[in-house]
Protein backbone atom coordinates (compact mmCIF):
# COMPACT_ATOMS: atom_id res chain seq x y z
CA UNK A 1 0.00 0.00 0.00
CA UNK A 2 1.40 3.39 -1.01
CA UNK A 3 1.70 6.12 1.59
CA UNK A 4 0.28 9.41 0.39
CA UNK A 5 2.58 12.39 0.75
CA UNK A 6 -0.13 14.42 2.51
CA UNK A 7 -0.58 11.68 5.12
CA UNK A 8 3.16 11.48 5.66
CA UNK A 9 3.32 15.22 6.16
CA UNK A 10 0.50 15.07 8.70
CA UNK A 11 2.32 12.29 10.56
CA UNK A 12 5.47 14.39 10.30
CA UNK A 13 3.89 17.37 12.02
CA UNK A 14 2.38 15.22 14.77
CA UNK A 15 5.50 13.15 15.32
CA UNK A 16 7.75 16.22 15.39
CA UNK A 17 5.57 17.75 18.12
CA UNK A 18 6.28 14.66 20.22
CA UNK A 19 9.96 14.63 19.31
CA UNK A 20 10.40 18.37 19.87
CA UNK A 21 7.58 19.51 22.20
CA UNK A 22 9.08 22.99 22.46
CA UNK A 23 8.61 23.47 18.70
CA UNK A 24 5.36 23.55 16.75
CA UNK A 25 6.78 23.71 13.25
CA UNK A 26 8.66 21.29 11.04
CA UNK A 27 12.17 20.86 12.42
CA UNK A 28 14.93 18.37 11.77
CA UNK A 29 17.44 19.09 14.49
CA UNK A 30 17.46 19.70 18.20
CA UNK A 31 20.32 20.68 20.47
CA UNK A 32 21.45 18.61 23.40
CA UNK A 33 24.30 18.60 25.88
CA UNK A 34 27.17 16.28 25.00
CA UNK A 35 27.41 13.60 27.70
CA UNK A 36 30.42 12.07 29.42
CA UNK A 37 31.17 8.37 29.75
CA UNK A 38 29.89 6.53 32.80
CA UNK A 39 26.96 8.88 33.38
CA UNK A 40 24.43 7.31 31.06
CA UNK A 41 21.72 6.72 33.67
CA UNK A 42 21.82 10.37 34.67
CA UNK A 43 21.58 11.46 31.03
CA UNK A 44 18.85 8.92 30.43
CA UNK A 45 16.70 10.27 33.25
CA UNK A 46 17.17 13.80 31.94
CA UNK A 47 16.24 12.96 28.35
CA UNK A 48 13.63 10.25 28.89
CA UNK A 49 10.08 10.97 27.72
CA UNK A 50 7.16 8.85 28.96
CA UNK A 51 4.70 8.16 26.17
CA UNK A 52 1.36 6.39 26.05
CA UNK A 53 0.58 3.42 23.82
CA UNK A 54 -1.24 5.75 21.43
CA UNK A 55 1.71 8.12 21.28
CA UNK A 56 4.09 5.22 20.69
CA UNK A 57 1.87 3.99 17.84
CA UNK A 58 1.74 7.48 16.36
CA UNK A 59 5.51 7.85 16.57
CA UNK A 60 6.08 4.43 15.02
CA UNK A 61 3.72 4.94 12.08
CA UNK A 62 4.70 8.55 11.55
CA UNK A 63 8.45 8.01 11.72
CA UNK A 64 8.19 4.96 9.44
CA UNK A 65 6.23 6.94 6.85
CA UNK A 66 8.64 9.86 6.92
CA UNK A 67 11.70 7.63 6.82
CA UNK A 68 10.47 5.95 3.64
CA UNK A 69 10.09 9.38 2.00
CA UNK A 70 13.27 10.84 3.48
CA UNK A 71 15.75 8.20 4.71
CA UNK A 72 18.18 10.91 5.85
CA UNK A 73 15.87 12.24 8.60
CA UNK A 74 18.08 11.25 11.54
CA UNK A 75 15.48 12.22 14.13
CA UNK A 76 12.83 10.00 12.58
CA UNK A 77 15.24 7.10 12.12
CA UNK A 78 16.19 7.40 15.79
CA UNK A 79 12.55 7.53 16.84
CA UNK A 80 11.67 4.46 14.76
CA UNK A 81 14.59 2.55 16.25
CA UNK A 82 13.44 3.28 19.79
CA UNK A 83 9.75 2.57 19.37
CA UNK A 84 10.29 -0.74 17.55
CA UNK A 85 13.62 -1.93 18.95
CA UNK A 86 12.95 -3.24 22.48
CA UNK A 87 13.22 -6.97 21.68
CA UNK A 88 16.21 -6.48 19.40
CA UNK A 89 17.97 -4.33 22.01
CA UNK A 90 17.42 -7.12 24.55
CA UNK A 91 18.97 -9.58 22.08
CA UNK A 92 22.00 -7.32 21.63
CA UNK A 93 22.29 -6.85 25.41
CA UNK A 94 22.48 -10.62 25.96
CA UNK A 95 25.01 -11.02 23.14
CA UNK A 96 27.16 -8.35 24.78
CA UNK A 97 26.84 -9.71 28.33
CA UNK A 98 28.11 -13.08 27.07
CA UNK A 99 31.35 -11.44 25.90
CA UNK A 100 34.07 -10.22 28.24
CA UNK A 101 34.63 -7.13 26.11
CA UNK A 102 30.92 -6.56 25.61
CA UNK A 103 30.29 -6.88 29.35
CA UNK A 104 32.94 -4.28 30.02
CA UNK A 105 31.22 -1.89 27.61
CA UNK A 106 27.90 -2.40 29.40
CA UNK A 107 29.55 -1.90 32.79
CA UNK A 108 31.57 1.22 31.94
CA UNK A 109 29.02 2.73 29.54
CA UNK A 110 31.48 4.65 27.35
CA UNK A 111 30.16 7.40 25.09
CA UNK A 112 31.50 8.59 21.76
CA UNK A 113 31.54 12.33 21.12
CA UNK A 114 34.02 15.19 21.15
CA UNK A 115 33.84 15.39 24.98
CA UNK A 116 34.87 11.76 25.45
CA UNK A 117 37.15 11.09 22.47
CA UNK A 118 40.21 13.22 21.73
CA UNK A 119 39.58 13.70 18.03
CA UNK A 120 42.80 15.65 17.55
CA UNK A 121 44.78 12.81 19.09
CA UNK A 122 43.21 10.31 16.69
CA UNK A 123 44.65 12.27 13.77
CA UNK A 124 48.16 11.52 15.08
CA UNK A 125 47.84 7.75 15.14
CA UNK A 126 49.76 5.82 12.47
CA UNK A 127 48.03 5.17 9.16
CA UNK A 128 46.12 1.93 9.16
CA UNK A 129 45.25 1.96 12.87
CA UNK A 130 41.63 1.96 14.04
CA UNK A 131 41.94 5.49 15.43
CA UNK A 132 43.47 6.93 12.27
CA UNK A 133 41.01 5.12 10.01
CA UNK A 134 38.09 6.51 12.05
CA UNK A 135 39.58 10.02 12.02
CA UNK A 136 40.09 9.88 8.25
CA UNK A 137 36.56 8.57 7.73
CA UNK A 138 35.04 11.42 9.75
CA UNK A 139 36.97 13.96 7.68
CA UNK A 140 36.37 12.34 4.30
CA UNK A 141 32.63 12.03 4.90
CA UNK A 142 32.21 15.35 6.73
CA UNK A 143 30.66 13.62 9.74
CA UNK A 144 30.75 14.58 13.43
CA UNK A 145 30.41 12.11 16.32
CA UNK A 146 28.32 14.78 18.06
CA UNK A 147 25.36 14.26 15.73
CA UNK A 148 23.82 11.25 17.50
CA UNK A 149 20.59 12.05 19.31
CA UNK A 150 20.00 10.81 22.87
CA UNK A 151 17.62 7.90 23.43
CA UNK A 152 14.32 9.22 24.78
CA UNK A 153 11.47 6.77 24.25
CA UNK A 154 12.82 3.51 25.71
CA UNK A 155 11.86 2.84 29.33
CA UNK A 156 14.54 0.31 30.32
CA UNK A 157 17.81 2.10 31.02
CA UNK A 158 19.95 -0.94 30.14
CA UNK A 159 18.28 -1.36 26.78
CA UNK A 160 18.40 2.38 26.23
CA UNK A 161 22.18 2.27 26.65
CA UNK A 162 22.42 -0.56 24.11
CA UNK A 163 20.49 1.58 21.63
CA UNK A 164 22.67 4.59 22.40
CA UNK A 165 25.83 2.53 21.93
CA UNK A 166 24.54 1.18 18.62
CA UNK A 167 23.81 4.73 17.53
CA UNK A 168 27.25 6.02 18.51
CA UNK A 169 29.29 3.19 16.97
CA UNK A 170 27.38 3.28 13.68
CA UNK A 171 30.01 5.55 12.14
CA UNK A 172 32.77 3.28 13.41
CA UNK A 173 31.08 0.37 11.69
CA UNK A 174 31.18 2.39 8.49
CA UNK A 175 34.85 3.22 9.07
CA UNK A 176 36.18 -0.25 9.83
CA UNK A 177 34.23 -1.68 6.89
CA UNK A 178 35.40 1.15 4.60
CA UNK A 179 31.87 2.16 3.68
CA UNK A 180 31.17 5.83 2.86
CA UNK A 181 27.87 7.54 3.58
CA UNK A 182 26.41 7.37 0.08
CA UNK A 183 23.27 5.28 -0.45
CA UNK A 184 25.16 2.11 -1.43
CA UNK A 185 27.34 2.36 1.66
CA UNK A 186 24.39 3.03 3.96
CA UNK A 187 22.34 0.14 2.61
CA UNK A 188 25.31 -2.24 2.88
CA UNK A 189 25.90 -1.25 6.50
CA UNK A 190 22.19 -1.60 7.25
CA UNK A 191 22.33 -5.22 6.03
CA UNK A 192 25.29 -5.97 8.30
CA UNK A 193 23.56 -4.31 11.26
CA UNK A 194 20.20 -5.94 10.50
CA UNK A 195 21.70 -9.42 10.46
CA UNK A 196 23.72 -8.87 13.61
CA UNK A 197 21.37 -6.78 15.77
CA UNK A 198 17.90 -7.79 14.47
CA UNK A 199 16.80 -4.15 14.87
CA UNK A 200 13.58 -3.59 12.86
CA UNK A 201 14.85 -0.16 11.81
CA UNK A 202 17.93 -1.75 10.24
CA UNK A 203 15.89 -4.49 8.59
CA UNK A 204 13.56 -1.90 7.07
CA UNK A 205 16.51 0.18 5.88
CA UNK A 206 18.14 -2.85 4.30
CA UNK A 207 14.95 -3.89 2.49
CA UNK A 208 13.57 -0.52 1.40
CA UNK A 209 16.82 1.45 1.02
CA UNK A 210 17.68 -0.01 -2.41
CA UNK A 211 14.43 1.40 -3.86
CA UNK A 212 16.19 4.76 -4.19
CA UNK A 213 19.22 3.38 -6.02
CA UNK A 214 19.87 4.37 -9.63
CA UNK A 215 20.13 1.58 -12.24
CA UNK A 216 23.95 1.35 -12.18
CA UNK A 217 23.97 1.53 -8.39
CA UNK A 218 21.34 -1.21 -8.23
CA UNK A 219 23.48 -3.46 -10.44
CA UNK A 220 26.53 -2.94 -8.20
CA UNK A 221 24.34 -3.43 -5.14
CA UNK A 222 22.97 -6.79 -6.29
CA UNK A 223 26.23 -8.14 -7.69
CA UNK A 224 28.78 -6.75 -5.20
CA UNK A 225 27.54 -4.93 -2.11
CA UNK A 226 24.64 -7.17 -1.09
CA UNK A 227 26.51 -10.52 -1.17
CA UNK A 228 29.41 -8.97 0.75
CA UNK A 229 27.15 -7.35 3.35
CA UNK A 230 25.22 -10.56 3.98
CA UNK A 231 28.44 -12.56 4.27
CA UNK A 232 29.92 -9.98 6.64
CA UNK A 233 26.82 -9.92 8.81
CA UNK A 234 26.66 -13.70 9.06
CA UNK A 235 30.33 -14.63 9.31
CA UNK A 236 31.99 -11.81 11.24
CA UNK A 237 31.97 -11.82 15.02
CA UNK A 238 29.51 -9.61 16.88
CA UNK A 239 30.61 -6.06 16.09
CA UNK A 240 28.77 -4.48 19.02
CA UNK A 241 31.27 -6.22 21.30
CA UNK A 242 34.17 -4.13 20.02
CA UNK A 243 35.40 -1.66 22.64
CA UNK A 244 36.76 0.75 20.04
CA UNK A 245 38.02 3.26 22.59
CA UNK A 246 40.51 0.65 23.84
CA UNK A 247 41.63 -0.24 20.32
CA UNK A 248 42.56 3.08 18.70
CA UNK A 249 46.17 1.95 18.23
CA UNK A 250 45.30 -1.50 16.86
CA UNK A 251 46.07 -2.06 13.17
CA UNK A 252 42.80 -2.35 11.29
CA UNK A 253 44.10 -5.44 9.48
CA UNK A 254 44.54 -7.16 12.84
CA UNK A 255 41.01 -6.18 13.90
CA UNK A 256 39.65 -7.56 10.64
CA UNK A 257 41.44 -10.85 11.22
CA UNK A 258 40.26 -11.04 14.83
CA UNK A 259 36.65 -10.30 13.92
CA UNK A 260 36.67 -12.46 10.77
CA UNK A 261 35.93 -9.47 8.53
CA UNK A 262 36.77 -9.72 4.85
CA UNK A 263 37.05 -6.17 3.46
CA UNK A 264 35.22 -5.33 0.27
CA UNK A 265 37.75 -4.45 -2.43
CA UNK A 266 36.22 -2.24 -5.14
CA UNK A 267 37.41 -0.92 -8.45
CA UNK A 268 36.71 2.77 -9.13
CA UNK A 269 33.84 1.87 -11.42
CA UNK A 270 32.06 -0.15 -8.72
CA UNK A 271 32.04 2.54 -6.04
What does 139-158 look like in DSSP terms, one character per residue?
HHTT--GGGPPPP-S---HH
pLDDT score at 51: 84
Q: What is the pTM of this model?
A: 0.84
pLDDT score at 121: 98
pLDDT score at 256: 98
The count of C-alpha atoms lying within 13 angstroms of the C-alpha of 141, restricted to the half-sphere facing its C-beta, is 21
Tens digits of residue pLDDT in 2-52: 444 444 455 445 555 555 544 433 333 444 567 777 789 999 999 999 888
Distances (CA, A) of 133 to 22, 85, 139, 157, 268: 39, 30, 10, 31, 20
pLDDT tens digits in sequence order for the chain, 271 residues long:
344 444 445 544 555 555 554 443 333 344 456 777 778 999 999 999 988 888 888 888 887 777 666 666 777 777 888 989 999 999 999 999 999 999 999 999 999 999 999 999 999 999 999 999 999 999 999 999 998 999 999 999 999 999 999 999 999 999 999 999 999 999 999 999 999 999 999 998 899 889 889 999 999 999 999 999 999 999 999 999 999 999 999 999 999 999 999 999 887 656 5
pLDDT score at 13: 52
What are the residues whose beta carbons fall under 8 Å from the beta carbon of 154, sequence distance 6 or more? 82, 85, 86, 89, 160, 163
CA–CA dist 83, 78 (Å, integer): 9
Annotated binding site: 170-171, 174, 186
Could you give the 3-state DSSP secondary structure of residue 251? strand
Annotated binding site for Zn(2+): 170-171, 174, 186
Amino acid sequence: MLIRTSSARRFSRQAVQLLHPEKHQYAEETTFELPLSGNFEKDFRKNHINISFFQKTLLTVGSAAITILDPFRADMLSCLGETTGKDAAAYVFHKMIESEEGSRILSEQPRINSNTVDLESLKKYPEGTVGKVYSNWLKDNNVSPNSRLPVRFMDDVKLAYVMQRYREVHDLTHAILSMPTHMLGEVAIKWVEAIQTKLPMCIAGAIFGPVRLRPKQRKNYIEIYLPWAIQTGLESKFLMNIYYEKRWDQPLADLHQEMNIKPLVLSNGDK
